[in-house]
Amino acid sequence: MKVLSGIQPTGRFHWGNYFGAIRQYIALQGQEQSFYFIADLHALTTVRDPAVLRQNVTDAALDLLALGLEPSKATLFRQSDVPEVTELTWLLMTITQMHLLEKCHAFKDKKAKGIAADAGLFTYPVLMAADILIYDSTTVPVGADQIQHVEVTRDLAQRFNSTYGETLHLPEAYVLDDSAKVPGTDREKMSKSYGNIIPIFDTPKKLRKTIMSIQTDSTPMESPKDPDSCAVYQLFKLFSTSDQQVALADRYRAGGMGYGEAKETLHLAAMNHFGEAFERRTRLETTPSEVEDILKQGAQRARAKAVEVLERVRSACGLSARPV
């Protein structure tokens, strides 16, 4: 299995990122090939402040390493450190039909809202396809709402192969387990775009303040409450054992417990769950050169594969070998 996944550095990672994807990325590390990149080129479609982008990339690397990504088991690198991916993007663009890109979610959504979509957003799926194809990836972990990206990649690979002969490998989508629903502080799906996130690495004080802001209903403290309709309980389930879940659910139904107490229980559970990751991140922050070395070494490994695939593609197209 050759695993490939990228994550955009558009802000600090939150509980939704972790339970929805990151923890499963980490579970997949150690395969025949496990490549994970920080998608700074993709982020340019939304992040236009260079200082912010650089800090976001650093934070993404620190967060992923702290949460359990191990350089001995997985290759972590910056997308932009492998320039071959942009050349493959152009080669794929020459066989990409406009109507295929017009159907893609990000472009359609902006167009429907009357928001101007630039060429970067319009051709975003081609760069994403290049990200996948340039490493001969076989397995691409995605959420159910991102399967289209892999389908577009397969379409482009098939079209290229039909034009130039069998050159590119067709990847398969690995649909991530999205059974762990992660509500935000407003009880909607946790998302940066909704402004309802709970960051993974906030200080304990800030984390507690955010948890205390989670919206709940107005049921009096002495009255029984429904745990299944409460975002606090739904979040607690992500951090707890089945016995712990039953115990807290019983407290809800018995009455006599306010939502403030439930939020304190959630805060403690989250601190316990991410405690070791906090410690690792604190240590990594003091050794920025170590993190940079990990990214550079990762890019070297990734480029070795990218060069191999790109030479195969260039040859198929009739281009000369790249100068050394």
- Domain containing residue 55: CATH number: 3.40.50.620
Give Dmax over CA atoms of the chain in angstroms.
77
Among this protein's residues, is 189 annotated catalytic?
A: yes
Does residue 189 lie within any of the structural domains?
Answer: no
Q: Which of 2, 111, 181, 192 is catalytic?
A: 192
| 190 CA to centre of own chain | 13
| 104 CA to centre of own chain | 19
Residues 306 and 219 in one domain: no
Q: Which of 2, 110, 111, 181 is catalytic?
A: 110
Q: Do residues 14 and 279 lie in contact, with contact meaning Cβ atoms separated by under 8 Å?
A: no
Residue 99's domain spans which residues? 2-181+287-317
Residues in the chain, overall count: 324
Does residue 190 lie within any of the structural domains?
Answer: no
- How large is the angle between the packed helices 147-164 and 124-133, nearest 10 degrees? 70
Q: Which of 2, 111, 181, 189 is catalytic?
A: 189
At position 76, the amino acid (one-letter code) is: L
Closest alpha carbon to 85 in 42, 145, 26: 42
Residue 230 sits in a domain whose CATH number is 1.10.240.10
Encode the chain (324 residues) as per-residue pLDDT tens digits.
Answer: 999 999 999 999 999 999 988 998 999 999 999 999 999 999 998 899 999 999 999 999 999 999 999 999 999 999 999 999 999 999 999 999 998 998 887 777 776 777 677 888 899 999 999 999 999 999 999 888 788 889 999 999 999 999 999 999 999 999 887 656 799 999 999 998 889 999 999 999 999 999 999 999 999 999 999 999 999 999 999 999 999 999 999 999 999 999 999 999 999 999 999 999 999 999 999 999 999 999 999 999 999 999 999 999 999 999 998 886
The pTM of the full predicted model, rounded to 2 decimals, is 0.93
Among this protein's residues, is 192 annotated catalytic?
A: yes
Residues 208 and 166 in one domain: no
| 141 CA to centre of own chain | 10
Does residue 72 lie within any of the structural domains?
Answer: yes
Does residue 140 lie within any of the structural domains?
Answer: yes
CA distance 272 to 277: 10
Neighbours of 70 (CB within 10 A): 12
Closest alpha carbon to 251 in 223, 272, 285: 223
How many structural domains compose the chain?
2
* H or E, element range at 33: strand 33-38
